[in-house]
């Protein structure tokens, strides 16, 4: 299956919203701030197909158009003016009720969600499942809408272990070895399956009852066996042939998930040295569940929706996750994320950037993405920059990277004795020299006209020039000459020179002058004593001092940063929220 286009109107913040998947090569990564509409897109797609599968009375009461290719056929599904339209290879059919052969729909829609929010489950997957389990005329294993979350972690791992030595699934052995560090299945010492038969007789699904009778004919409460024995019991049918893995997963899922009919209550997997599956990291568990979905549940006619699968996992694991998704590019996968690490490794044609304006989700245009790249430079990647530029926090700008480093370290050290500094909740960025200040601010305004910005300048000629340019004043005006603050008429742009310390009353003043005087003197004495020609090197001494500070600032004590208090007080004053 290959998604081509989606149009949705008035679903939450998706208002007259269009999304193009044609160039994504089967993998789309939807990126944006929390609240930008990422999850709403997955919900809308789920709602559309839940309606067309027709297994439950779910009405998705929004107009939409979705285009895709499946089994070589071009399909368009439309809902407009309370009518359903399907177009198969250009041939249109319209009616008040859905009437479409299931072969034109995804073989299954699999959604993986790793968070605590069950909104997607409750809205579409739960009603579908409830109807499925009540239906006594179920076609064997035909479960089209599959919702996978942390409840199925153990089942997913169990599935991989069952087929670890299968010649048709060689990638599983490599996956377990490389990603989970299980080199041989003998490291799995025991798998105990626990059962409850309270609802067994009331269960109308004869396929499930037959499966349970096969693996637990005497209806024991618990059965501990090595994985090799479970493989013989579960994977081989009465004719001596192997069962299809998708069928096995479906049977395990249906024995475990429905709250009113569940029979399997727990699968406990014991590894060597007393380690259990629950002791694995969350990153390992998420990779396991994704591998199971990609390997067993889905195929080239499936649609997979992964909502922030990279959340709360180690940065290194995010690249492993991306590599895993890329191995299965013969199916349509859509994931949401706001992880800089994941996006950094993705190809540009796979990325879709979202933002919210006036309560409406919009796709960020290429031109704006390029602006964000320019602003981010090597300080942020595009995801971080997009998030910061669209947040409600103040953006505080300094001339150089080391300036930002010094201020962040000062806050870290001084907030221990000055609780007020804990309230400095801003983002920091540098604009790489006063000459870039005007163009840098313009780019910010092009990205977000309402972004609140504070800019700090050195008290020197270059700083006065930049201040005059930003504030549209004459460099020789009294305000600029006297190093006065500037606030724009709309209040969203503020400029200031570095405030002087109590030891300095006038003259030029750089950010580095906030460091303890004895620290600077010590640096200078060490720089000069190592030179054969100290006078000749005096013109570059300032640059050498700055370089030393930039390289060694993390070693300095709280006392060395005491002079920064006056600057932190200024930052707090200019960025505090007005009640």
Q: What is the pLDDT of residues 224-262, one digit of tens each?
A: 999 999 999 999 877 777 888 988 998 899 898 866 678
Residue 188 confidence class, pLDDT cut points 50, 70, 90: confident
Query: 75, 88 in Cβ contact below 8 A?
Result: yes
Beta bridge partners of 95: 84
Report the SS3 class of residue 201: coil
* DSSP category for residue 11: B
Q: What sections of 54-191 are H helices per DSSP?
A: 119-120, 126-134, 153-162, 170-179
In this prediction, residue 529 carries a pLDDT of: 63
In this prediction, residue 353 carries a pLDDT of: 86
Residue 384 confidence class, pLDDT cut points 50, 70, 90: low
In this prediction, residue 377 carries a pLDDT of: 60
In this prediction, residue 579 carries a pLDDT of: 39
Q: Is 19 exposed, middle or buried (0-12, 13-18, 19+ CB in 10 A)?
A: buried
Question: What strand order describes the sheet that includes 264-271?
Answer: 222-225, 188-195, 264-271
- Give the closest residue to 399 by CA, choosing from 474, 459, 487, 447: 459
Higher per-residue confidence, 58 vs 86: 86
pLDDT in tens, 293-307: 999 999 999 999 999
Cβ partners under 8 Å of residue 49, min gap 6: 105, 106, 109, 145, 303
* pLDDT of 44 over the 80 cut: yes
**188-217 average pLDDT score:** 89
Q: What is the pTM of this model?
A: 0.74
Higher per-residue confidence, 215 vs 140: 215
In this prediction, residue 260 carries a pLDDT of: 66
Residue 277 confidence class, pLDDT cut points 50, 70, 90: confident
In this prediction, residue 40 carries a pLDDT of: 94
In this prediction, residue 234 carries a pLDDT of: 94
Report the SS3 class of residue 302: coil
Say what percent of the chain tops pLDDT 70.
91
Report the SS3 class of residue 452: coil
**124-138 average pLDDT score:** 75
Mean residue pLDDT of the chain comes to: 87
In this prediction, residue 376 carries a pLDDT of: 58
**371-391 average pLDDT score:** 61
- Number of neighbours of residue 30 by Cβ within 10 angstroms: 24
Higher per-residue confidence, 180 vs 560: 560
* pLDDT of 447 over the 70 cut: yes
- Max mean pLDDT among 13-17, 58-62, 188-192 falls in 13-17
In this prediction, residue 274 carries a pLDDT of: 78
Residue 388 confidence class, pLDDT cut points 50, 70, 90: low
Least confident interval from 14-28, 230-244, 421-435 = 230-244
pLDDT in tens, 79-125: 999 899 999 999 999 999 898 999 999 999 999 986 667 888 888 98
Least confident interval from 85-99, 434-448, 455-469, 501-515 = 434-448
In this prediction, residue 398 carries a pLDDT of: 95
Dihedral angle computed from the Cα positions of residues 147, 149, 154 and 158, in that order, rounded to the nearest 10 degrees: 40
pLDDT in tens, 59-83: 899 999 999 999 999 999 999 998 9
Residue 3 confidence class, pLDDT cut points 50, 70, 90: very high
Cα separation, 88 vs 100, whole angstroms: 10
pLDDT in tens, 324-380: 999 998 889 999 987 777 777 888 889 888 888 888 998 887 776 766 666 656 555
**502-522 average pLDDT score:** 91
Least confident interval from 42-46, 132-136, 141-145, 278-282 = 132-136
In this prediction, residue 404 carries a pLDDT of: 94
**376-397 average pLDDT score:** 68
pLDDT in tens, 477-505: 999 999 999 999 999 999 999 999 988 87
Distances from the Cα of 395 to the Cαs of 236, 404, 448, 454, 572, in angstroms? 62, 12, 12, 6, 12
Higher per-residue confidence, 174 vs 242: 174
* DSSP category for residue 475: T
């Amino acid at each position: 299956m290959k998604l081509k286009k989606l149009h949705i109107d008035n679903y939450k913040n998706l208002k007259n919203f269009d999304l193009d998947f044609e160039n994504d090569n089967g993998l789309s990564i939807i990126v944006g701030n929390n609240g930008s509409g990422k999850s709403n897109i997955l919900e809308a797609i789920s709602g559309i197909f839940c309606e067309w599968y027709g297994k439950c009375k779910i009405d998705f009461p929004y107009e939409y158009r979705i285009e895709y290719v499946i089994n070589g056929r071009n399909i368009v599904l439309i809902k407009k003016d309370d009518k359903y339209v399907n177009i198969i290879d250009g041939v249109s059919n319209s009616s008040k009720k859905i009437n479409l052969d299931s072969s034109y729909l995804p073989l299954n829609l699999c959604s993986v969600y790793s968070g605590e929010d069950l909104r997607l489950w409750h809205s579409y997957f739960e009603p579908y499942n409830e109807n499925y389990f009540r239906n006594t005329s179920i076609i064997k294993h035909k479960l089209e809408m599959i919702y996978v979350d942390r409840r199925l972690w153990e089942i997913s791992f169990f599935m991989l272990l069952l087929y670890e030595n299968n010649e048709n699934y060689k990638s599983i052995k490599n996956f377990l070895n490389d990603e989970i560090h299980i080199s041989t299945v003998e490291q799995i010492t025991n798998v105990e399956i626990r059962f409850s038969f309270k609802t067994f007789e009331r269960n109308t699904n004869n396929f499930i009852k037959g499966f349970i009778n096969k693996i637990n004919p005497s209806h024991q409460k618990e059965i501990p066996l090595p994985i090799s024995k479970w493989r013989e019991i579960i994977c081989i049918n009465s004719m001596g042939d192997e069962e299809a893995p998708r069928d096995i997963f479906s049977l395990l899922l249906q024995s475990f998930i429905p709250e009113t009919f569940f029979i399997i209550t727990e699968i406990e997997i014991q590894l060597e040295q007393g380690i259990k599956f629950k002791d694995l990291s969350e990153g390992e568990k998420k990779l396991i569940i994704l591998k199971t979905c990609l390997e067993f549940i889905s195929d080239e006619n499936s649609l997979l929706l992964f909502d922030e699968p990279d959340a709360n996992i180690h940065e290194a694991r995010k690249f492993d996750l991306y590599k895993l998704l890329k191995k299965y590019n013969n199916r349509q996968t859509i994931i949401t994320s706001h992880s800089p690490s994941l996006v950094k490794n993705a190809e540009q044609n796979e990325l879709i950037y979202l933002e919210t304006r006036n309560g409406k989700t919009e796709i960020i245009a290429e031109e704006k993405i390029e602006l964000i790249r320019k602003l981010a430079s090597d300080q942020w990647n595009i995801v971080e920059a997009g998030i910061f530029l669209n947040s409600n926090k103040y953006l505080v700008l300094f001339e150089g990277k080391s300036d930002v480093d010094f201020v962040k370290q000062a806050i870290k050290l001084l907030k221990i004795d000055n609780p007020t500094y804990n309230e400095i909740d801003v983002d920091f960025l540098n604009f790489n020299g006063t000459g870039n200040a005007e163009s840098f601010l313009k780019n910010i305004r092009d990205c977000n006209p309402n972004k609140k910005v504070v800019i700090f300048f050195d008290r020197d000629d270059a700083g006065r020039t930049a201040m005059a340019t930003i504030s549209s004043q004459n460099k020789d005006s009294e305000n600029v000459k006297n190093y006065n603050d500037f606030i724009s008429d709309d209040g969203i742009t503020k400029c200031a020179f570095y405030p002087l310390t109590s030891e300095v009353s006038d003259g030029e003043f750089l950010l580095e002058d906030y460091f303890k005087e004895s620290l600077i003197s010590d640096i200078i004495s060490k720089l000069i004593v190592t030179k054969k020609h100290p006078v000749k090197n005096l013109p570059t001494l300032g640059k050498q001092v700055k370089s030393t500070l930039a390289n060694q600032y993390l070693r300095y004590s709280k006392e060395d940063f005491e002079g920064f208090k006056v600057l932190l007080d200024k930052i707090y004053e200019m960025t505090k929220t007005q009640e």
